[in-house]
Amino acid sequence: MVRKPTKSNVKADAKAVSTRKPNMREAILAAAEELFSTYGFNAVSVRDIAQAAGANPGSVTYHFKTKDGLLLEIYRRHCGPMNRRRSELLAAARRVRDLQDRLEAIVRAYVLPAFTSGSDLAGGGTRFTRLRAIMSAEGNEVVRKIIAQTFDDTSHAFIDAIHESLPHIPRTDLVWRGHFLLGALYYTLVTPERVSRLSRGSADGTDAGHAIEELVRATVAALQAPPLDPAISALRKAPGFAPGRALT
Amino acid sequence: MVRKPTKSNVKADAKAVSTRKPNMREAILAAAEELFSTYGFNAVSVRDIAQAAGANPGSVTYHFKTKDGLLLEIYRRHCGPMNRRRSELLAAARRVRDLQDRLEAIVRAYVLPAFTSGSDLAGGGTRFTRLRAIMSAEGNEVVRKIIAQTFDDTSHAFIDAIHESLPHIPRTDLVWRGHFLLGALYYTLVTPERVSRLSRGSADGTDAGHAIEELVRATVAALQAPPLDPAISALRKAPGFAPGRALT
DNA sequence: ACCATATTTGTACTATCGTCCAAATATTCA
DNA sequence: TGAATATTTGGACGATAGTACAAATATGGT
């Protein structure tokens, strides 16, 4: 990337010839993202990442100090833009008049950024969501903190918006269904043979598009389902059991 | 377990005093199951397992040859009973007269064994399902084969049964929704704070029960949702894209 | 061109990984 | 009991892990 003149943000010159090697730091981040989201955090070594990025293992340590630091930086890169996009789409969805359409728009506002958000890289959104899926399965400790402090607000906003569209359904049920949505979303992105060409899909996202439409359709129907028998629900009012951290 | 007299299946004597150390092999299997399902395959070392089982690392090699072999044996232990239970419940569900009730019974037949199947150990079902969830995220190669040859038949049977209850919905959509069900199921079991006391739930499974009821209710509604616009669906008829391995 | 700084390189350190193996011990059956 | 077998033990092997660090090189401002 030829080292920017200290203070101006010229980014246009880079990436002119596909992937040349504009910035080692970026190359490492991209390689780590790809490898982590494919094989998991523990299965990938710093040396694997360095090799994939065409860098020296020491360079990784130089830029990110530790392997955890590298993972942290990946999350920092994506969480902000992704949640910003979600907020924008959610705000737009809230303005939809028709109740049914509004609910669908809300769900879409949650799902879409998981497929398309993030950087300019193709498939950046799906790759990061795949990474989140794997990390949630591996129960990584470093990630848990970021998740809590980054996604909690957004998640509550979505639950609230859904609850406004479906006031007759107890919030507990909606939280569960939102939880299921995230699980379905994660699994869809993690199962490679099903969405293998997702990241290589054409710009209009027709390939990913179908998966999204199926997911939105199914989720809207699930959200609208009649709540469980209140007699049973009441039994479960025990504190601490109801999901408190849904959609994260 | 005091080494059986060569050919008789006396299992009653063992496990008399809680967990004494009836059989090292079983202890290793249990420890590995617990650790793998909590931290993932790659994050757990053979030494971790040996220590948790109160065994020597060499013992693990002796009984299972390799770490992969240990994982394989865990799957062998659970897949059979779990699929058998599913088949039984599915057969019973098929006999339900009312269409709505039947669909619900079918979904329940798929979900229930994931929580309760397997060995005599408490929470054996959830632990194994959690393991499957993590392995699917990590993309483990050893597991992919077992999954394909063990769950494919059962999965097709479920899709068929659902399709019979909802003949007006294209099979493709049902496959997607079954896929979402599995994702939701996995994520529910993998997120510990939400189902933390699942395995410690009372014998009637009230704690797990609520999660199951929420999942079944949401899934039935999702399955019944009107299919996507056929015009869009038709575009996606391209071979190889529609999920071919759902519910596995 | 020169200096200060930023980055990359190569290597080395320690820790831990999966696996192996010979010796020690426990168990079973004649 | 004694011989045969099954299991457990403790230590070792080479490979690879994450990280550290000094030397080498590239870069940017003057």
Note the pLDDT tens digit of each residue in A180-217. Answer: 999 999 999 998 665 333 334 443 344 678 899 999 99
Cβ-Cβ pairs closer than 8 A, A with B, add up to 167
CB B25 within 8 A of CB B31: no
- From the CA of B65 to the C1' of D25: give the distance in Å: 49
At position B73, the amino acid (one-letter code) is: E
Domain of B40, CATH number, reads: 1.10.10.60
Residue range B185-195: mean pLDDT, rounded? 79
pLDDT, average across residues B193-215? 59
- Report which of A60, A55, A56 is spatially closest to residue A70, judged by C-alpha positions: A60
Domain total in chain B:
2
Instruction: Render pLDDT for A118-144 as a digit per residue (tens, 0 to 9).
Output: 555 556 788 999 999 999 999 888 898
* pLDDT at B1 (0 to 100): 25
Residue B230 located in a structural domain: no
Residue A3, CB, less than 7 Å from strand D?
yes
Q: Is residue A237 pLDDT above 50, yes or no?
A: no
Which residue type sits at B180? Answer: F
**Nearest CB neighbour to A187, from listed B186, B213, B224:** B186
Residues B91 and B52 grouped into a single domain: no
A235 touches chain B (CB under 8 A): yes
**Residue B230 sits at the chain A interface (C-beta within 8 Å):** no
Is residue A7 over pLDDT 60? no
Write the DSSP assignment of A110-145 as a string of letters.
HHHHHHH-SSSSTTHHHHHHHHHHHHHHHT-HHHHH
Give the tokens for residue A174. Answer: 């909606």
Let me know if residue A108 belongs to a domain.
yes
Max Cα distance, chain B (Å): 67
CB A35 within 8 A of CB A49: yes
> With an 8 Å Cβ cutoff, are B235 and A190 in contact?
no
Residues B18 and B94 in one domain: no
- Whether B60 and B89 map to the same domain: the answer is no
Same domain, B34 and B151: no
Extract the tokens encoding A155: 């998640």
Residue A18 and residue A7: Cα distance in Å, rounded?
25
Which nucleotide across the nucleic acid strands is nearest to A62, CA versus C1'?
C7
A11-15: long-range contacts at Cβ-Cβ below 8 A with a sequence spacing of 24 or more?
A15/A120
Report the 10 Å Cβ neighbour count for B223.
25
Residue B241 domain flag: no
pLDDT score, position B150: 84
Is B181's Cβ below 8 Å from some Cβ in A?
A: yes
Within 8 A of A219 by CB-CB distance, chain B residues are: 222
Among A184, A225, A241, select the one facing B180 at the smallest CB separation: A184
Give the residue from B180, B164, B163, B170 showing the smallest Cα distance to B246. B180
Question: What is the arithmetic mean of pLDDT over B56-73?
Answer: 97
Is residue A244 situated within a structural domain? no
DSSP conformational letter for B198: S
pLDDT of B77-124, one tens digit each? 999 899 999 999 999 999 999 999 999 999 999 999 998 865 555 567
CB contact under 8 A, B136 and A191: yes
| Dihedral over Cα of A220, A224, A242, B130: its sign | negative
Domain that holds residue A60: 7-65
* Residues B220 and B185 grouped into a single domain: yes
The CATH number that applies at residue A127 is: 1.10.357.10
Whole-number Å distance between alpha carbons of A220 and A201: 25
Same domain, A130 and A39: no
Which pLDDT value is given to residue B117?
64
Q: Are B104 and B114 in contact (CB under 8 A)?
A: no
DSSP assignment of B102-147: HHHHHHHHHHHHHHH-SSSSTTHHHHHHHHHHHHHHHT-HHHHHHH
Q: Do both A32 and A141 map to the same domain?
A: no
- Most confident range (mean pLDDT) of A146-160, A222-236, B39-53, B198-212 is B39-53
Q: Is residue B239 part of a domain?
A: no
In a domain, B237, yes or no: no
Check pLDDT > 70 for residue A248: no
Q: Examine the domain organization and report whether B106 and B213 are in the same domain.
A: yes
* Dist. CA B240–CA A192, nearest whole Å: 12
Residue A149 inside a domain? The answer is: yes
Amino acid identity for residue A98 in this structure = D
The average pLDDT across A107-114 equals 95
Which chain A residues are closer than 8 Å to B227 by Cβ? 217
Q: Is residue A70 part of a domain?
A: no
Residues A36 and A150 in one domain: no
What span, in angstroms and rounded, lies between the C-alpha atoms of A52 and B119?
A: 43
